[in-house]
Amino acid sequence: MLMPPALRVLEHELLLYRRVWRGSIVSSFLNPVLFLAAMGLGLGSYVSQNASTAGAATGGGAAALGGVSYLVFIAPGLLAATAMQAAAGESTFPIMGGIVWDRTFLGMLTTPIRVLDVLLGKVAYITIRLALVSGVFFVVMLIFGATHGLQAILAVPSAILTGLAFTTPIVAYSATQKDANGFSALFRFGVIPLFLFSGTFFPIGQLPTILQPLAVITPLWHGVDLCRTLALGTADAPGVLIHVGYLGAMAVFGLALANRTFRRRLEL
């Protein structure tokens, strides 16, 4: 009866999700299957071959991958990148829908629910979605034999945190947009470059020296490195602390920002 208002918003989101959950789980499953098959196995066999012949001679390849197969190398990185993409998807169009298209947020706000409750309920729902996407991804990793020991499960909470670090700032941004045009710029100049150049597919040590510091400050690199080092068992405490601190700070800062942009947009 005295359920916190944010949970009532979450209940609404779950009611909507109930209509689409099957399709959503299937695509959460197919996406890593396709990527791990094409990149991990397909491209991976070429990379490993190269690493063991020419790579061994020059001391590159396998050493840069940390002595594991390419499949095992990219799987945790892809997990982090997938969480980012899921977060971006859930934090853009559905927010626009609640404010501009169906205006369901406005409907909620004529009840005892407050603006902050709408925001928290929405973020809670996205967290659950991230957990589902990351969990299903991990199952696929197990099926592909892309894990390197049981500690690899730690990559799942890391991926959720990575997703949240993107969720709250993007939600804040979405609440400032008049229409969906701004989202294509966000994906084109934000999500996709991060996906390609944050160490997901190759160690950032392979980037030109001038770009390496740039990659190190991107949030996705922290997510990728956190997931990967935990999954491969090569993590050290200071590294984990920096990554978790960076991603956590981003999520909290984003939430504070989103509270401001939501209020400015919805409390007119």
Query: 110 or 209: whose CB is closer to other proteins?
Result: 110
Q: Which stretch binds other proteins (CB under 8 A): 85-93, 104-112, 147-155, 250-258?
A: 104-112
Could you identify the residue written with the tokens 């945190």? 161
Does residue 1 bind other proteins (CB under 8 A)?
A: yes
Query: 20 or 211: whose CB is closer to other proteins?
Result: 20
Q: What is the 3-state secondary structure (H, E, C) of the chain?
A: CCCCHHHHHHHHHHHHHHHHHHHHHHHHHHHHHHHHHHHHHHHHHHHHHHHHHHHHHHCCHHHHCCCCCHHHHHHHHHHHHHHHHHHHHHHHHHHHHHHHHCCHHHHHCCCCCCHHHHHHHHHHHHHHHHHHHHHHHHHHHHHHCCCCCHHHHHHHHHHHHHHHHHHHHHHHHHCCCCCCHHHHHHHHHHHHHHHHHCCCCCCHHHCCHHHHHHHHHCHHHHHHHHHHHHHHCCCCHHHHHHHHHHHHHHHHHHHHHHHHHHHHHHCC
For the bound state, the minimum distance from the C-beta of residue 27 to other proteins, rounded and expressed in Å, comes to 18
Which amino acid, residue 43?
L
Query: 150 or 268: whose CB is closer to other proteins?
Result: 268
Angle at 198 between CA 134 and CA 31, to 5 degrees: 35
Q: Which stretch binds other proteins (CB under 8 A): 105-113, 191-199, 208-216, 248-256?
A: 105-113
For the bound state, the minimum distance from the C-beta of residue 100 to other proteins, rounded and expressed in Å, comes to 11
For the bound state, the minimum distance from the C-beta of residue 101 to other proteins, rounded and expressed in Å, comes to 9
Does residue 106 bind other proteins (CB under 8 A)?
A: yes
Residues 18-47 that bind other proteins (CB under 8 A): 19
Out of 108, 164, 191, 255, the only residue in the binding site for other proteins (CB under 8 A) is 108
For the bound state, the minimum distance from the C-beta of residue 161 to other proteins, rounded and expressed in Å, comes to 30
Does residue 3 bind other proteins (CB under 8 A)?
A: yes
Does residue 15 bind other proteins (CB under 8 A)?
A: yes
Query: 58 or 110: whose CB is closer to other proteins?
Result: 110
Query: 236 or 267: whose CB is closer to other proteins?
Result: 267
Out of 26, 34, 45, 103, the only residue in the binding site for other proteins (CB under 8 A) is 103
Out of 24, 104, 218, 234, the only residue in the binding site for other proteins (CB under 8 A) is 104
Out of 67, 107, 193, 233, the only residue in the binding site for other proteins (CB under 8 A) is 107
Binding residues for other proteins, per CB under 8 A? Answer: 1-3, 5, 8-9, 11-12, 15-16, 19, 102-104, 106-114, 267-268
